[in-house]
Chain A
Amino acid sequence: GENVEQHPSTLSVQEGDSAVIKCTYSDSASNYFPWYKQELGKRPQLIIDIRSNVGEKKDQRIAVTLNKTAKHFSLHITETQPEDSAVYFCAGGYQKVTFGIGTKLQVIP
């Protein structure tokens, strides 16, 4: 089955700086890669997703890139704000998705 690895496990940035979270996947058949944000005590919510026929997707301060050859994809958050502090999960798959372990992002005001 699919194996998704995510790093770093924790990330601290100053407000206004950029944050980058990286993930790798193992199954070349995977074609859907969502990113979820989970605030403390709340349910995961989708922030952006990308399909394998696209190399990059952007939504305001959030962007995701996908390298199918290397089997890795990354989340980029620019101009970070304190409300971006949360745990971020990458996921990937074909029939279903497998989640990464999560990255706890702390944005320091």
Chain B
Amino acid sequence: DTGVSQNPRHKITKRGQNVTFRCDPISEHNRLYWYRQTLGQGPEFLTYFQNEAQLEKSRLLSDRFSAERPKGSFSTLEIQRTEQGDSAMYLCASSRLSGTSLSEQFFGPGTRLTVL
């Protein structure tokens, strides 16, 4: 499968624990995005990378959230000291930026986080 993959697909954790999610984008894609989606809402932007550089992080995002893309390939999203409000579907998407023009984002299947 050459699409975007995410692991794990489901994560149940207790409040206060740290969790880490992984995203493997389509190999030739230089852009990687993280979103959070709750029921009845659209994907909410969290952060994005161009190659290994993190270009923007949502101002609404708590300092408990951090993301990396160390070699410009896979990315990890870590949530420290999880709260019940963090329960959501975490989506990763990748795209190929051509010049300065945005293009189609290909989404992964998501990681569903449940914080008890």
Contact = CB atoms under 8 A, between A and B. Distances in A.
| Binding between chains A and B | yes
B43 A44 contact: yes
Given A102-B40, A102-B41, A43 B101 contact: no
B105 A46 contact: yes
Interface residues of B, number: 21
Nearest to B108: A43
Binding site of A, secondary structure by majority: helix, strand, loop or mixed?
strand
A97 B102 contact: yes
Contacts of B40: 101-102
Contacts of B101: 32, 51
Nearest to B40: A102
Contacts of A89: 42-43
B48 interface: yes
B102 A32 contact: yes
A55 B109 CA distance: 32
Contacts of A44: 43, 91, 107
B65 interface: no
Given A43-B91, A43-B110, A102-B40, A34 B45 contact: no
A102 B39 CA distance: 11
Interface string A31-74: 11010000000011110010100000000000000000000000
Contacts, number: 48
B42 A102 contact: yes
A80 interface: no
A32 B33 CA distance: 16
Contacts of B42: 6, 89, 91, 99-102
Nearest to B35: A99
B91 to A, nearest CB: 7
Interface of B: 33, 35, 40-45, 48, 55-56, 91, 101-105, 107-110
Interface of A: 6, 31-32, 34, 43-46, 49, 51, 89, 91, 93-102
Nearest first, the 9 closest Cβ-Cβ pairs linking A and B are A99-B42, A43-B107, A32-B102, A46-B104, A99-B43, A89-B42, A102-B42, A44-B107, A101-B42
